[in-house]
Amino acid sequence: MAQVALSSRWAVGPFMWRGNHSPTDKKMEVAKMNKNTLKISLRTLIVLMVVSLVAQGVAAQDAATTEDDSNDITGDIGMIGVGLALGLAAIGAGFSQAAIGSAAVGMLAEDGSKFGVALIFTALPESIVILGALPLFLQ
């Protein structure tokens, strides 16, 4: 067990630049970090709760009825939104496909038996495009 602890300290050692810390200093730093993280998490939770409660109230209101529907552009804006969803999903999938594809080629060059893993990781970004195309069928 001591060997594992020493080897992990050797691996992490170059990333700890600030000098020699005693264990009590580290415990105090972790406790302070945990308190700060807890404060940030609670604030974020409260903000999200308030936003969701307001959004429910807005969504529960009745739609305003108008007599003149000649300026109804909801369909046009909806189609623009659908196009943006599909286009941005395709762009994001393209960026991820570039990084994953080159890594998969390198992995296959080193070990050809990992073809299935490379295929799965290469196919994952395509599901993003499929989910981006879903609003086309729901519109």
Whether residue 121 is contained in a domain is answered as yes
Number of compact structural domains in the chain: 1
**Residues 53, 73: Cα–Cα separation, whole Å:** 28
**What confidence tens digit (pLDDT) does each residue in 55-109 have?**
777 666 666 655 555 555 566 777 787 788 888 888 888 888 888 989 999 999 9
**Residues 118, 101: Cα–Cα separation, whole Å:** 8
Contact status, residue 104 vs residue 118, Cβ threshold 8 Å: yes
Whether residue 109 is contained in a domain is answered as yes
pLDDT on residue 75 = 67
Contact status, residue 92 vs residue 128, Cβ threshold 8 Å: yes
Domain that holds residue 101: 89-138
17-21, 64-68, 90-94, 125-129: which has the minimum mean pLDDT? 17-21
Structure-block tokens of residue 109? 């060059």
**Residues 33, 38: Cα–Cα separation, whole Å:** 8
pLDDT at 15 over 70: no
pLDDT on residue 80 = 83
The band of 110, judged by pLDDT with boundaries at 50, 70 and 90, is very high
DSSP string, 64-114: PP-S--TT--HHHHHHHHHHHHHHHHHHHHHHHHHHHHHHHHHHHHH-GGG
Whether residue 9 is contained in a domain is answered as no
Structure-block tokens of residue 76? 């046009």
* 41 vs 75 pLDDT, higher one: 41
**Residues 126, 95: Cα–Cα separation, whole Å:** 11
Whether residue 110 is contained in a domain is answered as yes
* 40 vs 9 pLDDT, higher one: 40
pLDDT at 2 over 60: no
pLDDT at 135 over 60: yes
Whether residue 126 is contained in a domain is answered as yes
